[in-house]
Amino acid sequence: MPFLLAALLALFPLAPALPPTQITVPSTLNTQVEQTSTQTAPAGMPNEPCPKAGWGTPAIPQPNASSWVVADMNTGEVLAACNPNDQYAPASVIKLLTALAVQPKLDPNQSVDVTYEDLMMDPASSRMGLVPWGKYSAETLLLGLFLNSGNDAAQTLARAAGGQGGMPGTINEMNALAAKIGATNTHVENPHGLDAPGQVTTAYDLAVIAKEVFKNDKLAQYLRTTEAWVPEQPTYHGFQIQNDNQLLYNYEGALGGKTGYTNEAQHSYVGAAQRGNRKLVVTILHGQRTPAPLWNQSMALLDWGFSLPEGTQSIGTLNQ
């Protein structure tokens, strides 16, 4: 037997021992990437995991969007948020800041003449239907700014309210006002929200801006107006405009808000409602209209917020 074993080993030598197997894990699997905002988090709203809400609150319905906030406009408490300090192009929701800057400088009944320069913009963008050399009250222009998201109204109001500084003067005022009220991650380059390099805001800042807008009785009235009449002009008939914010028609206690869309911004939205003494606002940036429009998706967040008992732990505050 030993002789036979030796013969077999001579014919079939044993292979050398293999080293232990080493598996290289791809870096995408082996590394945990911590996502943090490159922007400065406001003192009242630190960056947190997404989504974030107070301890013990029900599950949060999440809209199809990159960034959003639910806040109480009376107390300033932020009830829930997702990436609240990330900057995105605003689209037409920035018109809330435009109105906040121009409304105190214009009497509602003040007549404003429209110039050709006021109407120079992307012809495919939203307009309220102003005509060159037409005369409109400041109130009509503000209604057109909100109800029809009129970019023509935005430029006309900004030029008229800017005085000798014209529209650039109002843009400077908008940036100064944003900083003053605590919307410190917002920067504007135009009054209507069409995409422009450097023009950004955050969901947190939008909630701060909305809180100030709804404190203004006149602006709050315009936001909840469902229809308005644009008076006739020489050789032009008058016509009716309607509010395109569907929250007003579909949600109990709706106070209004603002819609927005551009290629860069995607869909943006601000919607507010009141139940009893509570006033909540939802702000959404870089959203998608699936599975439903943002006004519809915001209703779930409003329902969630109103379901919370008063005094529920918040996750931050809107700058006062």
The three state secondary structure string of 242-259 is ECCCCHHHHCCCEEEEEE
Residues of the chain with pLDDT > 70, as a percent, come to 84
| Contacts of 119 by beta carbon, 8 Å cutoff, 6+ apart | 130, 132, 152, 155
- Asked about 211 being catalytic, the answer comes back as no
How many angstroms separate the CA atoms of 298 and 301, rounded? 5
- Asked about 149 being catalytic, the answer comes back as yes
Q: Is the pLDDT of residue 146 over 70?
A: yes
Give the pair of three-digit tokens for residue 301. 């967040």
Q: Is the pLDDT of residue 76 over 50?
A: yes
Per the domain annotation, does 102 fall within a domain?
yes
Catalytic residue among 95, 211, 258, 279: 95
- Per the CB < 8 A criterion, the answer to whether 132 and 119 are in contact is yes
Number of domains in the chain: 1
Domain holding 204, by residue range, is 52-317
Q: Which of the four pLDDT bands, split at 50, 70 and 90, describes residue 47?
A: low
The whole-number average pLDDT for the span 146-174 is 98
Per the domain annotation, does 58 fall within a domain?
yes
- Per the CB < 8 A criterion, the answer to whether 45 and 204 are in contact is yes
Quickly list DSSP for 221-283. HHHT--EEEEPPBTTB--EEEE---THHHHSTTEEEEEEEEETTTEEEEEEEEEETTEEEEEE
- Asked about 111 being catalytic, the answer comes back as no
Per the domain annotation, does 25 fall within a domain?
no
Catalytic residue among 52, 67, 126, 149: 149
Per the domain annotation, does 12 fall within a domain?
no
pTM of the model: 0.85
CATH number at residue 192: 3.40.710.10
For CA atoms 157, 160, 161, 164, the dihedral sign is: positive
Per the domain annotation, does 44 fall within a domain?
no
pLDDT of residue 28: 27
Quickly list DSSP for 179-217. HHHT-TT-B-SSSS----TT-BB-HHHHHHHHHHHHHSH
Burial class (CB in 10 A: 0-12, 13-18, 19+), 192: buried
Centre a 10 Å sphere on the Cβ of residue 309 and count the other Cβ atoms it contains: 6
Element (H, E) at 100: helix 95-102
Per the domain annotation, does 134 fall within a domain?
yes
Range scoring the smallest mean pLDDT among 39-48, 72-81, 114-123, 170-179 = 39-48
- Per the CB < 8 A criterion, the answer to whether 240 and 271 are in contact is no
Catalytic residue among 67, 92, 126, 298: 92
- Per the CB < 8 A criterion, the answer to whether 207 and 78 are in contact is yes
How many angstroms separate the CA atoms of 160 and 135, rounded? 12
Per the domain annotation, does 32 fall within a domain?
no
- Per the CB < 8 A criterion, the answer to whether 243 and 256 are in contact is yes
For CA atoms 189, 247, 181, 83, the dihedral sign is: negative
